[in-house]
Amino acid sequence: MFRALADSTRVQIVSLLLAAGESGVCVCDIVDRFSLGQPTISYHLKMLKDADLLCARKKGLWVYYSVNKQALSRFGVALPVFSDSLERSRCEDDSCDPLPDAKEVL
């Protein structure tokens, strides 16, 4: 898990997915949030999934990712870091986009 979260892009992806909640986020939407190509995002998602930090479910042609909260809770020390970044990304009212831009999360 430490190796998977050693990369800032992967930390941003996990923070983005935590902000999205249990419904998850489509790969296409994750790609849209970063200035990286789809193959690079897929590589980072694979690293996180291989570390058991993400859950994936296929819906039609798309794969939706969400955070494996059980695995993340075993990580323990990272939870305050992620919750702090989510606190900063919350909007003042309910009219904002539920998925903050990845660069704004951190």
The residues, any chain, with a CB within 8 Å of residue 92's CB and separated by 6 or more, are none
Q: How far apart are CA 85 and CA 14, in angstroms?
A: 11
pLDDT averaged over 10-residue windows placed end to end, the chain, 106 residues:
88 91 90 93 95 91 89 62 42 43 48
What is the pLDDT at residue 21? 84
- Is the overall model pTM greater than 0.75, yes or no? no
What is the CATH number that goes with domain 4-84?
1.10.10.10
Boundaries of every domain in the chain: 4-84
